[in-house]
């Protein structure tokens, strides 16, 4: 009897170890780097003090990291065959110098302990909170990948020209669902977009000779003068024209008012697919309930942060986020 209950206890412990392997934890660095959160917060604060837009840029880096080979810091790797040169990131993803600064500050605090992938996850949360959003508990323990996957980034990241069905399929491919698509698209309550990514909506949309009918006419004329035909495609405009750098639920009210900047924003509310997939209903719910949006945003961010992390002895803790460690 005694030995069998001992056997049971050993089995249970063994099983607990097996299930906890591969799982991220909030307190992963509690003893190895107790001031981690303080250091990252201070650095993100400094970066946003310098430029509020950086909050959006850092949030987006975590998203673009997680969708390609999981949340493994692969977007931070330099090189001409890296993810940085894939179309969704080229001349678009930004904030790499800020991540370098945060990593340097973290290394100074606890050398060789904290992965670049985890720094992205914490920075994304702090960016949202410093922009007026609500905090969530970030899970940690990711390790950094050894490869940057340019074709994975080119094919796996959603494009603003994708249909809603394609966007949903790209989220489903990484374990997220339609609710996460709408919720996380609310990240477009901060940050900017370049003319090249929406100017197809402004003139002769789909060969119709007119602008996209699902774009509000006064916003259409405003964007037409900002982004003239054959103009500079790199000129930027706020994704949320109402409260540009403030993390709130105005993004969803913009969609209800035909003021989504990207086609991929507006199709969450307008068009048949928005009705059949119920994204339209969720946009309306978030538009009238910012508390629900905030709490769901945190849940979906945790879910996104859980995409295929490297744990245990897989990968490494990079010393410099831009290059894999030399052996
Ligand atoms: C649903 C599919 C999505 C599409 C098609 C999409 C597309 C885009 C595009 C085209 C831009 C502008 C890039 C540029 O001007 O160079 C952008 C910016 C941004 N995206 Fe998304 N995005 C999506 C989802 C997300 C998600 C899930 C998040 C985060 C939770 C996010 C956060 C951001 C932020 C914060 C910016 C502004 C970045 C800055 O100002 O530097 N996006 N997105
Ligand atoms: C790159 O991403 C694609 C699509 O997710 C995947 O099939 C492929 O195995 C990845 N390649 C590497 C080297 O990780
Ligand atoms: C999406 O997943 C969450 C759990 O992660 C679940 O609560 C929600 O109901 C799902 N939504 C849809 C539309 O399946
Ligand atoms: C709009 O595009 C269509 C198809 O590409 C083209 O035939 C038409 O001439 C264009 N109209 C204008 C006003 O540019
Ligand atoms: C944006 O700027 C980059 C580098 O300055 C340039 O190579 C690229 O062609 C520009 N993109 C657009 C759409 O104008
Ligand atoms: C911004 O949103 C608020 C609240 O939804 C609304 O009252 C206001 O008219 C909006 N302003 C603009 C410029 O869209």
214 annotated as a binding-site residue: no
14 pLDDT more than 50:
no
Which listed ligand is nearest to 176 at the C-alpha? 3
Q: What average pLDDT does the segment 193-201 reach?
A: 98
* pLDDT tens, position by position, 105-126: 999 999 999 999 999 999 999 9
6 pLDDT more than 80:
no
Q: What average pLDDT does the segment 11-21 reach?
A: 42
Which pLDDT value is given to residue 307? 98
Q: What gap in Å lies between CA 38 and CA 15, rounded to an integer?
A: 34
Tell how far the Cα of 230 is from the centroid of ligand 1, in angstroms: 23
Q: Among the atoms of ligand 3, which is closest to the Cα of residue 299?
A: 5
Q: What gap in Å lies between CA 61 and CA 203, rounded to an integer?
A: 31
Closest C-alpha to ligand 2, atom 8: 152
* pLDDT tens, position by position, 55-64: 999 999 999 9
Return mean pLDDT, the chain.
Answer: 94
Closest Cα to residue 145, out of 62, 68, 79? 68
Backbone angles phi, psi at 25, to 5 degrees: -135, 150
Percent of the chain beyond pLDDT 90?
93
227 pLDDT more than 50:
yes
Closest Cα to residue 118, out of 94, 146, 142? 142
User: Which of the four pLDDT bands, split at 50, 70 and 90, describes residue 236?
Assistant: very high
Q: What angle, 0 to 180 degrees and rounded to 10, lies between the N-to-C axes of helices 54-66 and 96-109?
A: 80
Q: What average pLDDT does the segment 92-107 reach?
A: 98
189 annotated as a binding-site residue: yes
Which listed ligand is nearest to 241 at the C-alpha? 6
* pLDDT tens, position by position, 177-192: 999 999 999 999 999 9
Q: What average pLDDT does the segment 195-208 reach?
A: 98
Closest C-alpha to ligand 6, atom 8: 242
Annotation says 64 is catalytic: yes
- Whether residue 229 has its Cβ less than 6 Å from ligand 4: no
321 pLDDT more than 90:
yes
83 annotated as a binding-site residue: yes
Go through the chain and tell me how many residues it has: 327
Q: What gap in Å lies between CA 165 and CA 141, rounded to an integer?
A: 33
Quote the pTM value: 0.94
* pLDDT tens, position by position, 246-280: 999 999 999 999 999 999 999 999 999 999 999 99
* pLDDT tens, position by position, 138-183: 999 999 999 999 999 999 999 999 999 999 999 999 999 999 999 9
- Whether residue 303 has its Cβ less than 6 Å from ligand 1: no
Structure tokens at 287: 């538009």
Which pLDDT value is given to residue 327? 66
- Whether residue 132 has its Cβ less than 6 Å from ligand 2: no
Which pLDDT value is given to residue 22? 63
Q: What average pLDDT does the segment 23-44 reach?
A: 98
46 pLDDT more than 50:
yes
Per the CB < 8 A criterion, the answer to whether 245 and 52 are in contact is yes
User: Which of the four pLDDT bands, split at 50, 70 and 90, describes residue 21?
Assistant: very low
118 annotated as a binding-site residue: no
Which pLDDT value is given to residue 9? 46
């Amino acid at each position: 009897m005694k030995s069998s209950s001992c056997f049971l206890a050993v089995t249970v412990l063994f099983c607990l170890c097996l299930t906890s392997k591969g799982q991220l934890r909030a307190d992963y660095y509690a003893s190895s780097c107790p001031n981690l959160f303080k250091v990252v917060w201070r650095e993100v604060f400094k970066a946003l003090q310098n430029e509020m837009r950086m909050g959006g840029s850092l949030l987006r880096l975590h998203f673009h990291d997680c969708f390609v080979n999981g949340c493994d810091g692969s977007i931070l790797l330099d090189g001409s065959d890296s993810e940085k040169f894939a179309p969704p990131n080229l001349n678009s993803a930004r904030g790499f110098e800020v991540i370098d600064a945060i990593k340097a500050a973290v290394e100074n605090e606890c050398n060789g302990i904290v992965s670049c992938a985890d720094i992205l996850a914490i920075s994304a949360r702090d960016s949202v909170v410093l922009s007026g959003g609500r905090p969530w508990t970030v899970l940690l323990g990711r390790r950094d990948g050894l490869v940057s996957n340019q074709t994975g980034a080119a094919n796996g990241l959603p494009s603003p020209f994708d249909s809603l069905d394609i966007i949903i399929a790209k989220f489903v491919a990484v374990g997220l669902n339609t609710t996460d698509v709408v919720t996380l698209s609310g990240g477009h309550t901060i940050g900017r977009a370049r003319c090249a990514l929406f100017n197809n909506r402004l003139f002769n949309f789909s060969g119709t000779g007119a602008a996209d009918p699902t774009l509000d006419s006064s916003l259409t004329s405003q964007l037409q003068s900002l982004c003239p035909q054959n103009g500079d495609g790199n000129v930027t405009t706020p994704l949320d024209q109402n409260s540009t750098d403030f993390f709130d639920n105005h993004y969803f009210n913009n969609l209800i008012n035909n003021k989504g900047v990207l086609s991929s924003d507006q199709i969450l509310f307008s068009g048949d697919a928005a009705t059949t997939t119920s994204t339209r209903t969720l946009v309306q719910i978030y538009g009238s309930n910012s508390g629900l949006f905030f709490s769901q945003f945190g849940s979906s961010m945790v879910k996104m942060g859980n995409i295929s992390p490297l744990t245990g002895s897989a990968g490494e803790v990079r010393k410099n986020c831009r290059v894999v460690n030399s052996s």
